[in-house]
Structure 1
Amino acid sequence: MTTDPRPTEGVHPDHPDLDRLGALALVQALADDQRRAVEAVRAATPALAGVVEAALPRLERGGRLVYVGAGTSGRLGVLDATELTPTFSWPPERAVPLIAGGERAIRQAVEGAEDDAGAGEQDVRGAGVGPDDFLIAVAASGTTPYVLGAVAAARELGALTVGVANNPGTPLLAAAEYPVLLDTGPEAISGSTRLKAGTAQKIALNTLSSALMVRLGKVYGNLMVDVRASNTKLEARALRLTRHATGAGEAEARLALAEAGGRVKTAIVMLRLGVDAGEAEARLAAAHGHARAALGEG
């Protein structure tokens, strides 16, 4: 029998009788194995920090985040890209998820799509990827042809490329300018990388995109101030954030938010500096969207 050298494809030595466990022991075993995901991301923090520093200037110039993956990895990319708009008011056209098999693959498996390197290249070119863009390629195996084709095309087009894989020494880590290894090892259910390999990917993507949004001025202190109040839940959240940042009463905060068109960051500047919405927007624009700088806090 040929042994697959990729750790994610190995058989976990601690769970040979997983199918014999009772419900409690089974759930505990699966939950405990997820701890390795957090450990893997913590080990990768220097690499992730390097990615933030490299990607930031491109995004400041108007570049896009482009996510590429297949299967679980592709769906996690779609999720991260989608959540940037409601969380940080990031323009949806600047978060581009590419998944092997297209949109249909978000809900169902598209057999063979991940094996098509040419499709990965074609999707990147079709998305108009260019020098200011930042491509995040994710593959647990580190060997997925679709993802490798996408990275090759992105590099040719001048985009910054990041490769996220759960196996060391794999082609994806070699192909990308910025390799990020999430070494999660064998899964409790052998080969099911939707488990801790996928969890580590989710944490890494969430950490990376959130760090970028903080550095781009989408956060003041630790407050999500670029959220826009577009429904009842977000209106209540916007009110809480505005009051917390300014110490304003409910009525005053509501009025400022109304005048600011629901923009929390604008309302905060208005209330803290005693200016109208137009002046607050002008100060934020001059500070490139950073509330702390607009408030003169450095």
Structure 2
Amino acid sequence: MNSNNDDECTDIYYDDQIEEEDDYSISDQFVQNALSQQNSQNVKKYNIIFITNIQQIYIQQKHSLVWKTTNDIYDIIENKVKQELEILNLSFDEVLLIYNYYQWKKDALQSQYFENEDKARFQSGLQHSNLTKYNQPFKNTFVCPVCLDKTDQSDFLICNQSICKNCWYLYIKEKTQSEQGQVFFKCPFENCSLKVPHSFILKYLKNENEIKQYKKNIGKIYCMQSTTMKCCPYPDCQYAVENAYFTQQYVKCICGNVFCFKCGKDNHAPNTCYMAQEWEKKHSSESENLKWIQLYTKLCPKCRKPIEKIKGVII
């Protein structure tokens, strides 16, 4: 081939790809047509695009882990709710419960809520199926059905079931203040499906630590239902990670601990999430068995194995 054709080929061929001309079974004319200037430019163009895309993917993966505090997560939730207030024409408390029912999926909320509003409200815990059967709130003194004390300090939800304010506080504190605390829980009265509103809960939490724990648990619920965000499972850690591109299964938290982003549990490599879950069940079952053995058996004085005595007979 002439020198001009050789120059055109340098953009595509490399030394280890060039073979002797005798090895080719196609004509020089065909090669020249295939490697026209236009084709060479196209190949160069697509190679540049390909390399650029690879670089972008690498950059996305490198910076895909974003750490957020529990306050950040609550702010995300609050903004999501506020965006839907005018669309749904509902209060903050109502939208919060409905959003949780739809697992924080905006498309599902907007497309399904208006198809059957009554069903969505009831299943979200916004209204009782038969409110008319409930008593009206007290007028003067009141006997709390929980502690049986007489008081004029009471509060009630729209179901009109009343308990004293101290019992309300104890009930809300019990539900919200543990690490595994609830945030969307029902009225304390049996057969009432109404859920306690967010603003009602905040009214009874007495200090910043209680409010902080409550909001942290809201963030945990959000992360449990999210596919791109998970809370660090270790106690007292205030961080969650957003892994938008799911570039790695195991992530190291700012607190220094490593956990599985897929299942949200402790680092269980090289086991799969399913294997780790089954092992946890087995370990829990064995722990219960060990507790029973310690409580109801003693060691045989001869063979030193656990034995149980029933009516004087050694089993």
TM-score normalised by structure 2 residue count: 0.24
Q: Which has the higher helix share?
A: 1
Greater relative contact order (Cα < 8 A, sep 6+)? 1
Q: Given the two structures, how large is their TM-score scaled by the length of structure 1? A: 0.25
Larger radius of gyration: 2
